[in-house]
Amino acid sequence: MTTLTIVGAGPGLGAAVARRFGTEGFDIALISRRQQRVDVLAADLTAASARWRRFSTAPFPRPRSCTRFSTPPSTTHASKHAVIGLTKSAAKEYGPHGVRINAVCPGTIDTPMVTDMVTTGALDRTRAVAAIPLGRLGRPEEIAAVALWLNSPGASFVNGSVLLVDGGQLA
């Protein structure tokens, strides 16, 4: 069985993906910049299921040369388009070797990070929900289900795809 490496194994999407894949019998490697997050998630997952085969935990340190800074909306959008381009290019390059590469693009998901954004005023929850045709925020488990499907035999011919999981927000 292949090990699923979850970079950004925090309390939101990373935790949901780890839980879902773990219950399906995948080996899990958890990586985060904060060792405490990895330790807490590993303990929660171990307590929740006896089916875990192996845990690898590792901190993902922030390089000393990196500092936090605010990015303009244009930079954020450009980086997201870069991920889409990289996904498509890598799918063509590695497809002949049997490697499939796809991107999951979640919309606004009800995670601790989004809760923090609402608390600090960086996001207006009512406006965010109003912008989503399904009329609600996504759930982390919904993103995990998409990721699991991409790793299933049912998606064996899916390569180079960008899956929007946003409740129709970008439709």
Residues 15 and 99 in one domain: no
Q: List pLDDT tens digits, range 92-129.
A: 999 999 999 999 999 999 999 999 999 999 999 999 99
Hey, what are 125's tokens?
């929850």
d(CA 111, CA 97): 36
pLDDT given for residue 51 in this prediction: 61
Which of residues 39, 62, 85 is at a domain's end? 62
Residues 165 and 116 in one domain: yes
Q: What type of residue sits at position 81?
A: H
Hey, what are 138's tokens?
């996504």
Residues 84 and 150 in one domain: yes
Please report whether residue 148 resides in a domain.
yes
Which of residues 12, 27, 62 is at a domain's end? 62
In contact, 47 and 25? CB cutoff 8 Å:
no
Q: Containing domain of residue 135, as a range?
A: 72-171
Q: List pLDDT tens digits, range 15-74.
A: 999 989 888 888 888 888 888 888 888 888 888 775 665 666 666 666 665 555 555 678
| CB within 8 Å of 2: residues ≥ 6 apart | 26, 27
Please report whether residue 67 resides in a domain.
no
Give the Cα-Cα-Cα angle 2, 82, 61 (nearest 5 degrees): 60
Number of H helices, E strands in the chain: 6, 5
**CATH for 17:** 3.40.50.720
In contact, 69 and 43? CB cutoff 8 Å:
no
pLDDT given for residue 150 in this prediction: 95
Residue 94 parent element (H or E): helix 73-94
d(CA 86, CA 93): 10
Residues 58 and 76 in one domain: no
d(CA 109, CA 132): 11
Structurally, the chain folds into a number of domains equal to: 2
